[in-house]
Amino acid sequence: MAEIKIKNLHKEFGVGDDKVVALVDVNLEIEGDVFVSIVGPSGCGKSTLLNILSEIETPTSGTVSITNKGHAALPGYVFQAARLLPWRTVMDNLLFVQEEVTDAVRARCQKYLDMVHLGDKGNKYPGELSGGMQQRVGIARAFSVEPDVMFMDEPFSHLDAITARSLRRELHEMWKATNKTIIFVTHDVGEAVELSNRILVFAKGGVLKDDIQVDLPFPRDPSDEQVAIAKANVLKKFEELDLVAT
């Protein structure tokens, strides 16, 4: 569990012609074991926000603090592409990101591999696995460091619909079982409604437009009436904010 505080965050890239403004004056507070989705059209700065939160990029101005009971929070990260080391086995990929390698850590990695149903694939190389399996390894890797907060950058967008759906279900169960704060970037509103307590809507140019609470019981079935209505409501808000056209 983590506490995230973002104040007056501003980010731009490049100089002159190549200058792009990615985020404008973002203020945000996230607390507890919530599942927060960030949605918006492409180029709205949602990936940039995630990169700043995980310290891959630094903000142009403003402050970001991520803490867990006063200490710096430990992050986990799931990328759009799995980003596995192709020359290391699945198990070694998990061990690569651990602080130290002990028998206990090994057992922990094995546990998370089991959770994504890849317990028997530890000795395989990533090249021998399918795309969906590789992304599962990426998820197991992020959980295996037992992070306080988890960042996910459109992790299911490269996968086919059926694989994505079953992975969403697995992710939800893992979230419930581990009580993590999850920041989940997606462009799929249905996915956001199905998974999250809270949806942040970004518009082009990096402006935070809306902050929506979704109070429906879990697990949510996308074909369920309540979920469908919630999704329709979010889409209606999109229209009101004039986001659909862009």
Partner 1 sequence: MTTATAQLPKSTKPVSLVTRWKRSTWIPRVLFPITILLFWQVGMQVIRRIWPFAVDVLPTPMEVVDMMWGEIINPFVEGKQAITRENLYLTFGRSLLRLGSGFVIAMVIGTIIGLAMGLSKAVDAFFHDWVMALLAMPALAWALFTGLIFGMGNRSPIVTVVLTGIPFVIVNVREGVRNTPRELFDMANAFKVPRNRATRHVLIPSLMPFFFAAIRYAFSIGWKGLVIAEVFSGQDGAGWTIKFYYDAHRAHGIIGYAFFFVIFALLLEKLVFEKISNRVFKWRPKTTDVALVEALFDGPDDAASATAAAQI
Partner 2 sequence: MVAATDPDIQHTTEEQVAQQARRKELVQRWFWRILGYIFFLGVWEYGSGRILEEALLPGPTRIIKTFGELWAGGKMLDAFQATTFRIAVGFGLSFIIGLFIGLISQNRWWEAFFRDATLISLTAPGLIWALITAIIFGNRIAGPIITIVLTTFALVSVNVYEGVKSLPKDLVDMGKAFRVDVIGRNRHIVLPHLAPYLFTGVRFGFSIAWKVTVLTEIFSSGRGIGFEMRTSSQLFQMDEFLTWILAFFLFALFLEKVVLQAFENRYFRWRQGVAAT
Binding site for partner 2 (CB under 8 A): 15-19, 21, 24
How far is CA 26 from each of CA 5, 36, 216, rounded to the nearest angstrom?
A: 10, 15, 27
Which one of partner 1, partner 2, none interacts with residue 86, CB within 5 to 8 A by kind?
partner 1
Strand partners of residue 182: 35, 150
What's the closest the beta carbon of residue 43 comes to partner 2, in angstroms?
15
Write the DSSP string, 102-118. -HHHHHHHHHHHHHTT-
d(CA 53, CA 51): 5
Cβ nearer to partner 1, comparing 127 with 217: 127
Which of 45, 59, 75, 155 is close enough to bind partner 1 by CB under 8 A?
75
Burial of 31 (0-12, 13-18, 19+ CB in 10 A): exposed
What's the closest the beta carbon of residue 138 comes to partner 1, in angstroms?
9
Cβ nearer to partner 1, comparing 54 with 203: 54
Report if residue 97 touches partner 1, rule: CB under 8 A. Answer: yes
Write the DSSP string, 30-98. EESS-EEEEE-STTSSHHHHHHHHTTSS--SEEEEEEEETTEEPPEEEE-SS----TTS-HHHHHHHTS
Report if residue 218 touches partner 1, rule: CB under 8 A. Answer: no
d(CA 112, CA 118): 9
What's the closest the beta carbon of residue 151 comes to partner 1, in angstroms?
8
Q: Which amino acid is at 141?
A: R
Return the residues of window 51-70 that contact partner 1 according to CB under 8 A.
54-56
Which one of partner 2, partner 1, none interacts with residue 16, CB within 5 to 8 A by kind?
partner 2
Helix 103-115 and helix 161-178, axial crossing angle in degrees, nearest 10: 130
Report if residue 184 touches partner 1, rule: CB under 8 A. Answer: no
Cβ nearer to partner 1, comparing 77 with 238: 77
Which one of partner 1, partner 2, none interacts with residue 21, CB within 5 to 8 A by kind?
partner 2
**Binding region for partner 1 (CB under 8 A) out of 83-91, 166-174, 202-210, 219-227:** 83-91
Cβ nearer to partner 2, comparing 16 with 217: 16
Whether the ω angle into residue 147 lies within 30 degrees of 0, i.e. cis, is no
The residue ranges that bind partner 1 (CB under 8 A) are 54-56, 75-77, 79, 81, 83, 85-88, 96-97, 125-128, 141, 145, 151
